[in-house]
C-alpha cells in the first residue's frame, strides 16, 4: 500500500514527499505521478482557455473600437482638408482685397495730391483777387513781343508798327484779354469759397472812380492846341486810338486833362483812347464820340515803352473792341479839332455812366 500525504498550496496539489514501500516498483510511482499531473494540467488548461476566450473578446472589442477610430480619423482628415481649402480660399480672397485696397489708397493719394494742388491754386487766385481789391495798378505787364500773336488772333495787320500808340494799344489788349481769361477761369472756384466777384468789382470800381475824380477831367485847368506831330494816331477797324508821345509843354504840374483839343472823329461813333498823367502816374482814358467816360486804365512808364496794366472794369469794354471788323485801309486820318465844350462830360453824366457800369 502506498500512503499519500497530499498537501495543497493555493488549490494545487503538491507532493513534497512520498513513502514508497519496498515492494512497490518505480514504474508504478511514475504512473501515479503522470496521472496526477494530467489532472493538474487539464485544470490549468481550462483556466488558461477561459482567459484566452476573455482576452479574445476584449481583442474583438478593441478591434471594433480601432475600426471606429479609423472612421473617425478619416472623417477628421476629410473635415480638416475641407477646412484647409476653405481657409486657403479665404486667404486668397483677403490677399485680393488687400491688393484692391492698396490700389484704392494709391488712387486716393493721387486724388488728395491733386486736390491739394488745386486748393493751393485756388488760394493763389484768391490772393491775387485780394491784391486786385486792395490796389488797382498791380496787374501783370505784357512783353512787347506778344504783339505778333495778338495780331494773328485778331486778324489785324498793322502795317505801320512805328506808332508807339498802336504798340501800346496792342499790348493793352493783350493784358486785358489775359486778365479777362484769368478772371473767368477762377470765378467758379472763388464762388465756392463764399466770395463774389461783384463785391471785388465794386471795391475796384470805387477806387477807379476815386482816381477819375482826382483827375478832374470835367474841369480842365487849361486849354491848349495839341499839334498833330505830338501825338500818334492809329486806326484798327472802327476804333481810333490817340496816344501822346510825350508830356505836352506848357501843362501845369504834369497834369493833362481831356480837352476839346484832343482829336475826336466827327463822322461816325467810335472810341478814342488817350493818355494823361497825374502825380507821376500815367493814365489811359477811353471816351466815346460824345466825351462820355468808358474806362480808365492805370499804366506805367518803363524807358521809352509804355506797358498798360488793366483794371477789371476795363475788361468789360474789351469785347466790343475785339469784335469789330478789320479796316483794310491803312490810312491814318488827320482830324481837325474843333473847340467844343460838349466834349467835357458833366459830373452828373460821368456819375450816371459809372453807375450803369457798376
pLDDT in tens, 80-106: 888 888 888 888 888 888 888 888 777
Q: What is the pTM of this model?
A: 0.22
- pLDDT, residue 256, reads 33
- pLDDT, residue 40, reads 65
Contact status, residue 313 vs residue 295, Cβ threshold 8 Å: yes
Most confident option among 42-51, 150-159, 192-201, 335-344: 42-51
Q: In angstroms, what CA-CA distances link 342 with 164, 302, 350?
A: 29, 35, 13
The C-alpha angle 44, 48, 52, rounded to 5 degrees, equals 170
Q: The C-alpha cell of 37 is what?
A: 499531473
Q: What average pLDDT does the segment 243-254 reach?
A: 38
Please choose, from the candidates 82, 314, 351, 350, the residue with its C-alpha nearest in 3D space to the C-alpha of residue 201.
Answer: 314
Confidence of residue 293 (pLDDT cuts 50, 70, 90): very low
- pLDDT, residue 107, reads 80
> Looking up cell 452828373, which residue turns up?
348
Q: What average pLDDT does the segment 170-186 reach?
A: 56
Torsion of CA 235, 239, 240, 246, to 10 degrees: -100
The residue extents of the domains of the chain are 21-134, 146-357
- pLDDT, residue 217, reads 46
pLDDT in tens, 295-353: 343 333 333 233 333 344 444 444 444 444 344 444 343 333 444 444 444 444 444 44
Lowest mean pLDDT among 52-56, 127-131, 203-207, 294-298: 294-298
More confident residue, 307 or 44: 44
The C-alpha angle 303, 306, 309, rounded to 5 degrees, equals 130
Please choose, from the candidates 29, 329, 292, 274, the residue with its C-alpha nearest in 3D space to the C-alpha of residue 160.
Answer: 329
Amino acid at each position: 500500500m502506498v500512503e499519500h500525504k497530499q498537501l495543497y498550496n493555493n488549490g494545487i496539489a503538491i507532493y513534497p514527499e512520498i513513502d514508497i514501500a519496498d515492494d512497490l516498483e518505480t514504474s508504478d510511482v511514475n504512473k501515479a505521478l503522470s496521472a496526477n499531473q494530467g489532472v493538474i494540467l487539464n485544470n490549468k488548461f481550462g483556466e488558461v482557455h477561459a482567459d484566452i476566450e476573455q482576452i479574445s473578446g476584449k481583442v474583438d472589442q478593441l478591434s471594433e473600437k480601432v475600426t471606429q477610430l479609423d472612421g473617425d480619423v478619416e472623417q477628421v482628415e476629410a473635415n480638416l482638408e475641407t477646412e484647409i481649402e476653405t481657409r486657403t480660399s479665404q486667404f486668397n480672397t483677403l490677399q485680393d482685397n488687400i491688393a484692391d485696397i492698396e490700389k484704392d489708397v494709391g488712387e486716393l493719394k493721387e486724388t488728395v495730391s491733386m486736390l491739394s494742388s488745386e486748393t493751393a491754386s485756388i488760394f493763389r487766385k484768391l490772393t491775387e483777387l485780394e491784391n486786385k481789391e486792395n490796389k488797382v495798378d498791380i496787374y501783370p505787364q505784357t512783353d512787347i513781343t506778344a504783339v505778333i500773336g495778338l495780331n494773328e488772333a485778331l486778324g489785324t495787320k498793322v502795317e505801320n508798327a512805328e506808332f508807339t500808340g498802336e504798340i501800346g494799344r496792342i499790348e493793352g489788349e493783350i493784358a486785358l484779354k489775359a486778365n479777362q481769361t484769368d478772371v473767368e477761369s477762377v470765378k467758379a472756384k472763388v464762388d465756392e469759397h463764399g466770395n463774389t466777384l461783384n463785391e471785388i468789382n465794386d471795391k475796384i470800381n470805387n477806387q477807379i472812380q476815386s482816381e477819375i475824380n482826382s483827375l478832374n477831367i470835367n474841369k480842365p485847368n487849361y486849354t491848349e492846341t495839341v499839334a498833330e506831330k505830338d501825338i500818334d494816331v492809329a486806326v484798327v477797324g472802327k476804333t481810333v486810338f490817340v496816344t501822346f508821345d510825350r508830356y505836352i509843354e506848357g501843362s501845369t504840374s504834369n497834369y493833362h486833362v481831356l480837352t476839346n483839343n484832343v482829336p475826336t472823329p466827327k463822322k461816325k461813333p467810335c472810341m478814342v483812347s488817350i493818355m494823361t498823367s497825374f502825380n507821376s502816374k500815367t493814365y489811359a482814358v477811353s471816351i466815346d464820340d460824345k466825351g462820355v467816360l468808358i474806362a480808365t486804365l492805370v499804366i506805367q512808364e518803363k524807358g521809352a515803352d509804355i506797358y498798360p496794366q488793366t483794371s477789371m472794369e476795363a475788361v468789360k469794354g474789351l469785347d466790343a473792341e475785339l469784335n469789330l471788323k478789320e479796316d483794310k485801309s491803312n490810312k491814318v486820318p488827320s482830324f481837325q479839332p474843333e473847340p467844343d465844350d460838349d466834349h467835357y462830360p458833366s459830373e452828373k453824366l460821368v456819375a450816371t455812366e459809372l453807375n450803369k457800369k457798376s
